[in-house]
């Protein structure tokens, strides 16, 4: 298993991973996810199997720290000293192998090297304990309604 950049050929597998993972929110359209990648390909990573097939991914992009991005909205390139971690998802076959922690760790290292001050995310589907174990803290900031009623905004200062 390895972490690598997301490529054009990864999108069918990435969409399949997204569909397998999300039950609390509606999976996002291809154009929306690709807009995150196009905004910042250097902070969008793939977890790949022995055959280099994508089994997991993380999508993150620079953000101005203002209103949190809504789900299913196309991302436009933006500057900012914060990184918004939009999505981290793993195919069922990749779970239990440390892939989520490895992807999160690699992204945090990239964020530090690129000079971001903080990483922000919206935790859904009960993932807040995982994110806490990666060094994120819950905030009192409300999550956009598109993330569902149990969503939790979390941050990590770098």
- CATH number of the domain residue 26 falls in: 3.40.630.30
pLDDT the model gives residue 24:
82
What total of structural domains would you count in the chain? 1
Domain span including residue 89? 2-157
Task: Determine the Cα–Cα distance for residues 27 and 72; give it in Å rounded to an integer.
Answer: 8
Residue 12 tokens, joined: 């069918």
Task: Determine the Cα–Cα distance for residues 74 and 63; give it in Å rounded to an integer.
Answer: 13
pLDDT, tens only, 111-134: 999 999 999 999 999 999 999 999
Q: End-to-end CA distance of the chain, in Å?
A: 27
pLDDT the model gives residue 57:
98
Lowest-confidence region among 23-27, 39-43, 57-61, 138-142:
23-27
β-bridge mates for residue 30, sequence order: none
Angle between helices 30-39 and 11-21 (to 10 degrees): 110
- Is residue 77's pLDDT more than 70? no
């Amino acid at each position: 298993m390895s972490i690598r950049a997301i490529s054009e050929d990864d999108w069918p597998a990435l969409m399949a991973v997204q569909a397998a993972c999300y039950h609390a929110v509606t999976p996002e359209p291809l154009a929306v996810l690709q807009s995150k990648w196009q905004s910042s390909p250097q902070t969008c990573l793939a977890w790949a199997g022995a055959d280099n097939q994508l089994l997991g991914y993380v999508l993150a992009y620079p953000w101005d720290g203002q209103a949190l991005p809504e789900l299913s909205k196309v991302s436009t390139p933006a500057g900012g000293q914060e990184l918004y971690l939009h999505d981290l998802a793993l195919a069922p076959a990749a779970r239990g192998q440390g892939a989520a922690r490895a992807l999160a760790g690699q992204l945090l290292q990239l964020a530090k090297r690129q000079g971001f001050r903080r990483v922000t995310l919206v935790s859904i589907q009960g993932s807040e304990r995982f994110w806490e174990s990666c060094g994120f803290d819950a905030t009192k900031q409300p999550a956009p309604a598109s993330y569902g009623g149990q969503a939790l905004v979390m941050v990590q200062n770098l």
